[in-house]
Amino acid sequence: MLGFLEGGSSKSDGELREAIEEEVFRLSRHSHLSADQKRKLVERVFHSFRGLDILQPLLEDPTITEIMINSHEEIFIERAGIVTRCEDRFESRQKLEDVIQAVVAKVNRTVNESSPIVDARLADGSRVNVVLPPVALKGPTMTIRKFPPHPMTIGDLIAKGAITAEAAEDLKKLVEGKYNIFIGGGTGSGKTTFLNALAGYIPADERIITIEDSAEVQIRNIPNLVGLETRNANTEGRGEISIRDLIRSSLRMRPNRILVGEVRGAEALDMLSAMNTGHEGSISTGHANSSADMLSRLETMVLSGAELPLAVVRKQIASALDILIHLSRMRDKSRRVTEIHEVLGVEDGEIRLNPLYLYEEVSGKPPGLVRTGNPLVYARKLEFAGTSFSEGRMDVG
């Protein structure tokens, strides 16, 4: 059948599908395939030419949120937070490698034995991570994090129980009041989703620059928006453009706010500097186990790229950040906001936090995000905007 389809690359999608259907029907006269088997065979062959082979139906399934390919014979998928093994497999290791090369080539990335790790994305915005041998011991490995076609709003997150309406209203005021916000959480806790949702509160008349390793942020409400993405070095080791480079360049692009998809290293210092030099209301994310841990990680990131006294680093962090939000992935696989802190400053050499909301149990009720009752200490920006932070302790389930 494949010989019959030689030259398929020159056919339109409709012509190619028609040719596949004709050949499948011809073969079925001798193999007694059912209608469902014929349909699946046509789709499989078509996707091997034009799509991502066996991954295509998985990508088109809206219930699947993550695809984990451990080798050409081992594929796992995540639905509703539950991971199961997929029955499908690639016909060979070479076929998986071909699919990987097709993915990374579309975003001008390179992955090979000398540079075996790469981050990329699909046309629909799904995030892709690839690791090749000899680093990956089982064979080529690819992990695809899918994102919904329409980014979640705060309203969607409230409906899912990820945050309370009261906390969301306060965060709306903080975003509109141009407080610098940092979102922390573990892998898969929903940091990018939450950044997207918060960005929905940014006034539409502002100019926003987004900076990411692989473009994931989906902002639909800002007309004056520029998205920047890093670039890996070429085969000669040249041409790399890092997040640090992009942050520095963005400062010359007259942004009102800068959104950094995720900081992992020395670029944290550049991000903090941007927040400290007039770009109020900026938002970024990072990996951590708690808000306090996020501060420690930021210290380590800054120190990895600059020889500064720890006291200076802490003062820089405390001066740049106004609000810390922490997200957690719960035992029931749900993702929730579990901490919202105000950054007060440095006292006795330590950065002080003012807990505004905490995830806890109150009066025998099920655990939930609860207003601590602590006032927002630095409320001047809200006062200028003619609003105020909520007061008193709210026992919210």
For 152, list phi and psi in degrees, rounded to 5.
-70, 140
Q: Is 240 in contact with 261 (CB distance < 8 Å)?
A: no
Give me the tens of pLDDT residue by residue for the chain, a chain 397 residues long.
444 455 545 556 566 666 666 666 666 666 666 666 666 665 666 556 556 778 888 888 889 999 999 999 999 999 988 899 998 899 899 989 989 998 998 888 889 988 899 988 888 888 899 999 999 999 999 999 988 777 889 999 999 999 999 999 999 999 999 999 999 999 889 999 999 999 999 999 999 999 988 778 888 889 999 999 888 777 677 788 999 999 999 999 999 999 998 899 999 999 999 998 888 999 999 999 999 999 999 999 999 988 999 999 999 999 999 999 999 998 888 899 999 999 999 999 999 999 999 998 666 667 889 999 999 999 998 988 788 888 755 444 3
Q: How far is CA 269 from CA 15, 264, 273, 301, 307, in A?
A: 54, 11, 6, 8, 11
Residue 123 structure tokens: 């046309």
Domain 53-149 fold: Beta-Lactamase (3.30.450)
Beta 323-329 vs 335-347: how paired, if at all? Answer: antiparallel
Q: How many CB atoms lie within 10 A of CB 231?
A: 16
Hey, where are the domains in the chain?
Answer: 1-50, 53-149, 154-384
| pTM of this structure | 0.80
Tokens 């800068």 belong to 258
Helices (H), the chain: 13-31, 35-50, 55-60, 93-105, 154-159, 165-176, 191-199, 243-250, 267-275, 291-305, 310-320, 380-384
Query: DSSP string spanning 244-303?
Result: HHHHHHHTTS--SEEEES---STHHHHHHHHHTTT-TT-EEEEE-SSHHHHHHHHHHHHH
Report the amino acid identity of residue 319: S
Comparing C-alpha atoms, which of 234, 290, 227 is closest to residue 261?
A: 227
- What does DSSP assign to residue 54? T
- What does DSSP assign to residue 87? S
In angstroms, the CA 283 to CA 285 distance is 7
Q: Is 48 in contact with 40 (CB distance < 8 Å)?
A: no
For domain 154-384, is the CATH number 3.40.50.300? yes
Q: Is 343 in contact with 182 (CB distance < 8 Å)?
A: no
